[in-house]
Amino acid sequence: MIIIPAIDIKDGKCVRLSQGDFDRVTVYADNPVETAQKWEQKGAQLIHVVDLDGSVAGTPKNAQTILRLARAINVPIQVGGGIRDMETISFYLQNSVSAVILGTAALQNKEIIHKAVASYPAKIILGIDALDGKVSIQGWTQKTKENAVDLARRFENSALKAIVYTDIKRDGMGTGVNTDATRVLAEATDIPVIASGGVASIKDIQKLREIESCGIHGVIIGRALYTGAICLEEAISEAAKPLK
């Protein structure tokens, strides 16, 4: 299981939201590029980057900042937010981005997932953001009746790189990762799952290690790294320990 630091970008700055609420935003750094360099120096193997403005607008809004970030480090990055068409997918993947995350597009245009995977094997990630088990889209501003597990199963044979599963209710709250819901999703599909939302301490890493065999590929950590509640080096060390 790998530890993946998160960099959420709003208005060109590195921020964190509480439960995806754009009215509850905390700015942690003015320069996302420097933040990425810091995580690289501390041993990150992969960095999760989200264009928050783009996720609501439906088109990239911080693309140039993201490309500068990607080119400033040697660590691969996965990018989400405002990626709704093949043109945007190609733009990122042909410009130093290792993988793109499609969330809203998976519901609004299901065929784009299959087309994207065919064009860019092992570079497409499905983003499932759920509130009480139901998928939310448009930067979490629009709730749907779609069940998270059903959405994952729909793309079971599409050769996706991974699924990023985020529990919206816990995201940015430091209340602990939702291991139960993450396990249920991981057991329901053969696609590797990346957990996200609510990671608060090393104990959350340990809890995820206990269900790693279900198909947990990694965990995204945001606010806890920025506040110092979790030390990145310690989290990476914990995740690398042999399973008992």
**Is 204 in the active site?**
no
If one counts every other C-beta atom within 10 angstroms of the C-beta of residue 187, the result is 13
Element (H, E) at 14: strand 13-18
Active-site annotation holds for 129: yes
Confidence of residue 66 (pLDDT cuts 50, 70, 90): very high
Q: What is the DSSP string of 129-177?
A: EEETTEEEETTTTEEEEEEHHHHHHHTTTS--SEEEEEETTTTTTTS--
Q: Using one digit for the tens of pLDDT, what is the confidence trace for 110-130?
A: 889 989 999 999 999 999 988
- At residue 125, the 3 state secondary structure works out as strand
Question: Between the CA of residue 215 and those of 189, 190, 191, 219, 231, what are the distances in Å?
Answer: 8, 7, 7, 12, 25
Q: What does the alpha-carbon distance between residue 232 and residue 229 come to, in Å, rounded to a whole number?
A: 10
pLDDT over 60 at 179, yes or no: yes
Provide mean pLDDT across the span 38-48.
Answer: 98
- Which of 51, 53, 129, 167 is the catalytic position? 129
Task: Inform me whether the pLDDT recorded for 20 exceeds 70.
Answer: no
Instruction: Give the architecture (CATH level 2) of 2-240.
Output: Alpha-Beta Barrel (3.20)
Q: What angle do CA 232, 66, 70 make, to 5 degrees?
A: 65
Beta carbons of 175 and 198 less than 8 angstroms apart? yes
201-237 burial code (b ≥16 CB/10 A, e <16)? ebebbebbbebeebbbbbbbbbbbbbeeebebeebbe
Give the closest residue to 192 by CA, choosing from 126, 132, 118: 126
> pTM of the prediction?
0.91
Q: What is the pLDDT of residues 194-228, one digit of tens each?
A: 999 889 999 999 999 999 999 999 999 999 999 99
Cα distance between residue 92 and residue 155, in whole Å: 22
> H-type helices in the chain, by residue range?
32-41, 52-57, 63-72, 86-93, 104-108, 110-119, 148-154, 179-188, 202-210, 223-227, 232-240
Distance CA 177, CA 217 (A): 15
Report d(CA 229, CA 234) in Å as an integer: 11
Distance CA 168, CA 135 (A): 9
Contact at 8 Å (CB) between 47 and 4?
yes
| pLDDT tops 90 at residue 105 | no
Whether 91 and 71 have beta carbons less than 8 Å apart is answered as no
CA angle 105, 110, 116 (to 5 degrees): 75
Selecting among 8, 51, 53, 167, the annotated active-site residue is: 8
pLDDT in tens, 135-168: 775 545 567 677 888 888 988 888 899 999 988 7
